[in-house]
Amino acid sequence: MSRYDTDYSQMGFATKAVKSGEGPDPVTRALNTPIYETSTYGYETAEQYDEMLERGAAWEPDLYIYSRTTNPTTSALEKKVMALENAEDAVITACGMAAISNALLSNLNAGDHVICSDDTFMCTSSLFADILPAKGIETSRVEVLELDNIEKALRPNTRVIYLEALSNPRLKLSDLPAIAEIAHAHGCRFIVDNTFLSPCVMRPLDWGADIVVHSGTKYYVGHGDALCGIVAGRKEDMDRVRYYYDNLGSHISPYDAWLALRSVRTMPLRVRQQSENAMTLAKWFESRPEVDYVTYPGLESHPQHMLAEKLFLNGNFGGMLCVHLKGGYEEMCRFADATRIPPIATSLGDVVTLMFPKKAYGNLIRISTGCEDVNDLIADFGQAFEKMK
């Protein structure tokens, strides 16, 4: 047995983030996983090729025929994700919406019904409002914090319950164990989008979810330089996802997979700093007279704070907070325009603090904290408040 065949499954999360799925390249001994920029793979004989095609149809790991289906760089990332999510298997897609779409479409057909939270990312909302119904799939949007709403929405043809663990943008935290119990009692798949938290903060599969999805662009990549989607769960479920992923052409490029692989190694460090910064900022904003309210699961004022203490890991509450200023749209714009460190931008989970003023949600400012010195962020937000005067 090679020293590089070490089993990391019983080691700490940070060790898994650095070591799982990787080792020296078997050909060159390069320590970093190479970028396998190839579309296809050559075999010695027709018989060997036929054997690979047959085994590939069963989704055996580490078989490479065509890079739309499998690629060694992407496979290394999948193995790392499996370790971090406590999953049997994982599939890497081109972006977060590809992950969500493949997870849903591999479990839903015309005539089926799916229940979804009423607070989700706007493209997820479009998927449930327009695309799924157009394909003959019935959808219901409910407030999932009230478990009775889920029970009442269930139908004989309900196949999936879908939600965001911490919702975008209102930061509602769902009771995953309780909802998993409802889903499984009615024979439903429970799919959880954990983009806003990352496996550093919570692992939905540990709390009863069947499938977890991420926009890996966010905390997994974390540097604003690559798109990535993640689906993880049992192998039988991931085999079905792979079938859809392959047929729909949802694959990630080897280069973006390599960028994500590079980034995951530092995710525990980044998320810990982002969580610390978010907690400090949330308390500071809550003390400001210009602020109406702050939403952050680490604050005792958050409606699901006690649930967060139960479900979240290592005292981390994530890097996302929302600030609602007193006043209206004009005040929100004046404050955002006066800041200097955080760009006004979409996305989240970056090493750079990002600010997203959301008029459609009652002039709410969504802040994704980065890894800057928190005192510099406080000073910047403080001078923005001064300029508003």
Q: For residues 276-299, give the mean pLDDT.
A: 98
The pLDDT of residue 224 is 96
The pLDDT of residue 62 is 84
**Would you say residue 2 has pLDDT above 80?**
no
Q: How confident is the model at residue 360 (pLDDT cuts 50, 70, 90)?
A: confident
Domain extents in the chain: 11-36+71-264, 267-388
Q: For residues 117-142, give the mean pLDDT.
A: 97
pLDDT in tens, 29-87: 888 899 999 999 999 999 999 988 888 777 888 889 999 999 999 999 999 999 999 99
pLDDT, mean over the chain? 95
The pLDDT of residue 23 is 87
Q: Is the pLDDT higher at 360 or at 98?
A: 98
Q: For residues 127-134, give the mean pLDDT.
A: 98
Q: How confident is the model at residue 1 (pLDDT cuts 50, 70, 90)?
A: low
- The domain 11-36+71-264 having CATH identifier 3.40.190.10: the answer here is no
**Would you say residue 384 has pLDDT above 70?**
yes
pLDDT in tens, 203-214: 999 999 999 999
Fold of 267-388: Aspartate Aminotransferase, domain 1 (3.90.1150)
| SS3 track for the chain | CCHHHCCCCCCCHHHHHHHCCCCCCCCCCCCCCCCCCCCECCCCCHHHHHHHHHHHCCCCCCCCCECCCCCHHHHHHHHHHHHHHCCCEEEEECCHHHHHHHHHHCCCCCCCEEEEECCCCHHHHHHHHHHHHHCCCEEEEECCCCHHHHHHHCCCCEEEEEEECECCCCCCECCHHHHHHHHHHCCCEEEEECCCCCCCCCCHHHHCCCEEEEECHHHHHCCCCCCCEEEEECHHHHHHHHHHHHHHCCECCHHHHHHHHHHHCCHHHHHHHHHHHHHHHHHHHHHCCCEEEEECCCCCCCCCHHHHHHHCCCCCCCCEEEEEECCCHHHHHHHHHHCCCCCECCCCCCCCCEEEEEHHHCCEEEEECCCCCHHHHHHHHHHHHHHHC
The pLDDT of residue 3 is 67
